[in-house]
Amino acid sequence: MTRILLSSVAAAAVLASASTAFAQTEVQFWHAMGGNLGEAVNTLVDGFNKSQSEYKVNPVYKGSYTETLTAAIAAFRAKQAPHIVQVFEVGTANMMAAKGAVYPVYQLMADAKEPFDPKAFIGPVYGYYSTPDGKLLSMPFNSSTPVLYWNKELMQKAGLDPNTPPKTWPELGEMAKKAVAAGAKCGFTPQWQTWTMIENYGAWHNLPYATKDNGFGGTDIELKFNDPARVKFIQMLADWTKDKTFVYGGREGKSTALFTGGDCVFHVASSGSAAGIDKALGGTSKYGIAMMPYSPDVIAKPQNSIIGGATLWVLQGRPAAEYKGVAKFMSYLASTPVQAKWHQETGYVPITTAAAEVTEKEGFYKKFPGREVGVQELTLNPPTANSKGLRIGNFVQIRDIVDGELENVWSGKKDAKTALDDAVKAGNDQIKRFDAANK
Amino acid sequence: MEKRVTFNERWLPYLLLGPQIVITLVFFFWPSGQAIWQSVLIEDVFGGNSKFVWFENFAQLFRDNSYAHSAQITVVFSFLVAAIGLGISLLLAVMADRIIRGATAYKTFLIWPYAVAPAVAGVLWGFLFNPSVGIIAWMLQGIGIEFNYVINGNQALLLVVIAAVWNQISYNFLFFLAGLQSIPKSLIEAAAIDGAGPGRRFWDIIFPLLSPVGFFLLVVNIIYAFFGTFGVIDSLTKGGPGKSTEILVFKVFNDGFRGQDLGGSSAQSVILMVVVIALTVVQFRFIERRVHY
């Protein structure tokens, strides 16, 4: 009897201590930033928490972008959604179409009476995540764009000038072949191949990815990335696989290991990989960053690139008072010192022009040459209908389809034209389903 | 004489069965019911926009090339896993049956792989065959075979078959061994006296008497290949490269959780449920009476 009495007293004490009234309102922030990016997020959130005492943002790493989104969806359906969830850019159309689940940022800021200036943001970054009439739906957080990384040592070994990267794809091919002949294990490998070699190739060369302004103008669209220019480009890469001028390293970010391991000479990858590459290769004397190559027979000068990365979406379903804390956190994130620090620490592009200017003034770009390339690519020219970005429903499945078809090309199962045509056909099916589900 | 347990209180058997029934209801009936319900809807991921569409999701699957492809891969995969798994474990059981010394040690080593979780088995074999750092991949390169399962679909399929078979061998081995040991020695001795060699003794006497066990294991292995191999596929290839290892159960996961197509994914789930119910019915009707342990 005494044992039961003692244990129930202990249980009651534990429960009582757990339910002490919180002085702070907690804001749940689910993100997909692992490794050193995750540490940068924690530092950033710490700064906010220390700057005021009313709200406490709790950053939780939920895994990959896909895992984070899946967790948020499940939580929302169980009415336990986090306040903020980081969703990759390809989820934009799906998030926008989710009726009643999303709390648009422009509305959040207005409701919480937080100052908010749309003009402070960099054009392509803001435009990707707003409605056609300029209302921001989600807060840009970590935007990146593909850049060309090159290994200076391997270029030197091949007798090439390590400070002159290739400007065009034919040039890159020649340099890569020379490097492989001089002993490099691989000439070129792309990261996130659907994003760099198909989507951004289109924007860079002013070619459409889909009808209706790449999906900005509606959901009943058709895919158009199997144009002759891209077929020719992919076929060229497929031919390069034969002598290791091109080596496929796997989906998403897996191929970066080939570059950081010193196997590949050239790597087209996210500007957000800069910090990790710098750490792995050991400083800017070992690698360089430049603009992506272009195909001079398709376009005389490159157009502009489009962003990748992710944004922060605010979910409905929490008590109204808590959203004021969310709005304050958003203001904090967009503030110049925070954006400048985040940009410098990670390689993601600064989302406000002020942050870019401050970084320049601090001499950061002189110390780390190449980090300004991302912003330069994004702002190279005013975006056309083909280079504002992409807004495609069921984009995760479509990217999977394209990934699979490209893998068929690399393994020799299909030629580029068949693969891209098949990808467009299967992708159009996905778009029809998305359209039907969201009418 | 029928064996029956009698209870003094009428409510006691229900109370004892209660927890199991609750678990079955919550973890099996409820999700299955939800899958059936969701398979006739098309909705957006957050559940906000649900439309009742009768069997449109199922019709879509039968129109879909990738579903047919996935079904084809599943059939090939299950056939390979069942055939190779049963073949190797039968061989091992026959050999282990004849050992007298150290039998326990051999049996322990042969049973041990079953304790490894499928995902871990996938990672294990992934490491061995990893194109950059794998030992076996390196040895293959030494004899001229370029093994890269990240690019080559057939090699990826072979690799997941190997990992899945390795994981299941112990289970098959145990049943075959028990089946072998239940065959009366007198039959085999009689055959030996009549002049039958070991081959004939095996094929004409042992194999037919093992067939109930064999058929039971065949059904279990097929169900395993359909469902239990999810962990191996997810940790090794995630259905790639180019969907060459996307078996049906993985496609359910991929379409539902990565692609957020809950309607289509639930429809696939329902189809798989029908398949496994059919297989289990076959097993119960034809096997259960004839297997001896």
* DSSP code at position A348: P
Q: Kindly identify which residue of chain B lies nearest to residue A403, measuring between CA atoms.
A: B242
pLDDT band at A427 (very low <50, low <70, confident <90, very high): very high
Q: Is B111 helix (H, G, I), strand (E, B) or coil?
A: helix
Query: Which B residues in the span 77-106 are in contact with A, Cβ-Cβ below 8 Å?
Result: none
Q: Out of A100, A403, A437, whose CB is closest to B42? A: A437
Q: Is A332 helix (H, G, I), strand (E, B) or coil?
A: helix
A279 contacts chain B (CB < 8 A): no
pLDDT band at A20 (very low <50, low <70, confident <90, very high): very low
Question: Mean pLDDT across the stretch A384-396?
Answer: 88
Q: Is-contact B155 B245, C-beta < 8 A?
A: no
Q: Is A58 helix (H, G, I), strand (E, B) or coil?
A: strand
Identity of the residue numbered B243: K
Question: Mean pLDDT across the stretch B185-203?
Answer: 87
Query: What CA–CA distance (Å, rounded) separates A200 from A304?
Result: 9
Query: Which one is predicted more confidently, B293 or B262?
Result: B262
Query: Which B residues in the span 175-214 are in contact with A, Cβ-Cβ below 8 Å?
Result: none
Query: What CA–CA distance (Å, rounded) separates B147 from B131?
Result: 6
Question: Are the Cβ atoms of B258 and A100 closer than 8 angstroms?
Answer: no
Residue of A90, A413, A414, A431 to mutate when probing chain B, most B C-beta within 10 A: A413
Q: Out of A66, A73, A429, whose CB is closest to B45? A: A73
Q: Kindly state the percentage of chain A with pLDDT values over 70.
A: 96
**Nearest residue to A422 via CA among A392, A438, A395, A401:** A401
Query: What CA–CA distance (Å, rounded) separates A78 from A100?
Result: 15
Sequence-distant (6+) residues with CB within 8 A of A30 are: A60, A62, A68, A71, A72, A82, A84, A85, A86
For residue A429, list chain B residues with Cβ-Cβ distance below 8 A: 64
User: Rounded to two decimals, what is the model's pTM?
Assistant: 0.79
Q: Tell me: pLDDT of A390 over 50.
A: yes
Question: Mean pLDDT across the stretch A50-67?
Answer: 90
B59 contacts chain A (CB < 8 A): no
Question: Mean pLDDT across the stretch A185-204?
Answer: 94
ipTM over 0.85: no
Count of alpha carbons within 13 angstroms of residue A7, beta-carbon side? 3
Q: Which pLDDT belongs to residue A293?
A: 95
Question: Mean pLDDT across the stretch A274-291?
Answer: 90
Question: Are the Cβ atoms of B46 and A251 closer than 8 angstroms?
Answer: no
pLDDT tens-place string over residues B220-253: 999 999 999 999 999 988 887 778 899 999 999 9
Q: Is A27 helix (H, G, I), strand (E, B) or coil?
A: strand
Sheet holding A84-88, edge to edge: A55-61, A25-31, A84-88, A308-314, A139-144
Q: Tell me: pLDDT of B293 over 50.
A: no
Q: Kindly identify which residue of chain B lies nearest to residue A434, measuring between CA atoms.
A: B44
Q: Tell me: pLDDT of A417 over 70.
A: yes
pLDDT tens-place string over residues B8-61: 888 888 999 999 999 999 999 999 999 999 999 888 777 777 888 888 889 888
Question: Are the Cβ atoms of A397 and B261 closer than 8 angstroms?
Answer: yes
Of A25-34, A263-272, B258-267, minimum mean pLDDT range: B258-267
For residue B243, list chain A residues with Cβ-Cβ distance below 8 A: 404
pLDDT tens-place string over residues A298-335: 999 999 999 988 999 999 988 888 999 999 999 999 89
Question: In Å, how far is A398's CA from the nearest CA of chain B?
Answer: 9
B243 contacts chain A (CB < 8 A): yes
A64 contacts chain B (CB < 8 A): no
Q: Tell me: pLDDT of A22 over 60.
A: no
**Per-residue CA distances from B280 to B7, B79, B128, B276 (Å):** 31, 17, 35, 6
Given the structure tokens 């390795």, which residue do they identify? B166
Q: Out of A248, A400, A411, whose CB is closest to B153? A: A411
Q: Which pLDDT belongs to residue B168?
A: 93
For residue A411, list chain B residues with Cβ-Cβ distance below 8 A: 151-153, 241-242
Question: Mean pLDDT across the stretch A66-70?
Answer: 85
**Nearest residue to A231 via CA among A32, A409, A110:** A409
Question: Are the Cβ atoms of B42 and A413 closer than 8 angstroms?
Answer: no
Q: Which pLDDT belongs to residue B203?
A: 87
Question: In Å, how far is A106's CA from the nearest CA of chain B?
Answer: 21
Q: Which pLDDT belongs to residue A82?
A: 94
pLDDT tens-place string over residues A215-243: 988 889 999 999 999 999 999 999 999 99
Q: Which pLDDT belongs to residue B32?
A: 93
Question: In Å, how far is A273's CA from the nearest CA of chain B?
Answer: 22
Query: What CA–CA distance (Å, rounded) separates A137 from A126?
Result: 9
Q: Which pLDDT belongs to residue A14?
A: 61
Q: Tell me: pLDDT of A397 over 90.
A: no
Question: In Å, how far is B107's CA from the nearest CA of chain A?
Answer: 40
- Bridge partners, A270 (sequence order): A146
B150 contacts chain A (CB < 8 A): yes
A182 contacts chain B (CB < 8 A): no
Q: Kindly state the percentage of chain B with pLDDT values over 70.
A: 97
Given the structure tokens 């040592």, which residue do they identify? A153
Question: Are the Cβ atoms of B44 and A437 closer than 8 angstroms?
Answer: yes
A436 contacts chain B (CB < 8 A): yes
Q: Which pLDDT belongs to residue A18?
A: 53
Question: Are the Cβ atoms of B46 and A407 closer than 8 angstroms?
Answer: no
Query: What CA–CA distance (Å, rounded) separates A379 from B199?
Result: 78
Query: What CA–CA distance (Å, rounded) separates A407 from A193?
Result: 10
Q: Is B168 helix (H, G, I), strand (E, B) or coil?
A: helix
Query: What CA–CA distance (Å, rounded) separates B264 from A306?
Result: 31
For residue A219, list chain B residues with Cβ-Cβ distance below 8 A: none
Q: Kindly identify which residue of chain A lies nearest to residue B240, measuring between CA atoms.
A: A404
Q: Kindly state the percentage of chain A with pLDDT values over 90.
A: 50
Helix residue ranges, H only, A52-128: 65-77, 92-97, 105-111, 123-128
Question: In Å, how far is B163's CA from the nearest CA of chain A?
Answer: 21
Given the structure tokens 């190739």, which residue do they identify? A201
Q: Out of B48, B151, B257, whose CB is closest to A407? A: B151
Question: Structure tokens of A14?
Answer: 């534990």
Whole-number average pLDDT of chain A? 89
Question: Structure tokens of A181?
Answer: 């002949």
Question: Are the Cβ atoms of A405 and B46 closer than 8 angstroms?
Answer: no
Question: Mean pLDDT across the stretch B100-104?
Answer: 79
Question: Mean pLDDT across the stretch A165-177?
Answer: 94
Q: Is-contact A194 A403, C-beta < 8 A?
A: yes
pLDDT tens-place string over residues B132-166: 788 998 899 889 888 888 878 889 999 999 999 99
pLDDT tens-place string over residues A273-282: 888 898 899 8
* DSSP code at position A90: G
Residue B242: in which H helix or E strand, if any? Answer: none
Question: Structure tokens of A58?
Answer: 């709790």
- What φ, ψ does residue A352 adopt, rounded to 5°? -115, 150
Residue of A400, A428, A434 to mutate when probing chain B, most B C-beta within 10 A: A400
Question: Are the Cβ atoms of B46 and A433 closer than 8 angstroms?
Answer: no
B259 contacts chain A (CB < 8 A): yes
**Nearest residue to A289 via CA among A365, A214, A398:** A365
pLDDT band at B259 (very low <50, low <70, confident <90, very high): confident
Q: Is-contact A312 A330, C-beta < 8 A?
A: yes
Question: Are the Cβ atoms of A426 and B254 closer than 8 angstroms?
Answer: no
B240 contacts chain A (CB < 8 A): yes
- Bridge partners, A85 (sequence order): A30, A313
Q: Is A290 helix (H, G, I), strand (E, B) or coil?
A: strand
3-state SS record for B52-65: ECCCHHHHHHHHCH
B263 contacts chain A (CB < 8 A): yes
Let me know if A91 is exposed, middle or buried by CB neighbors in 10 A (0-12, 13-18, 19+). buried
Query: What CA–CA distance (Å, rounded) separates B132 from B129?
Result: 9
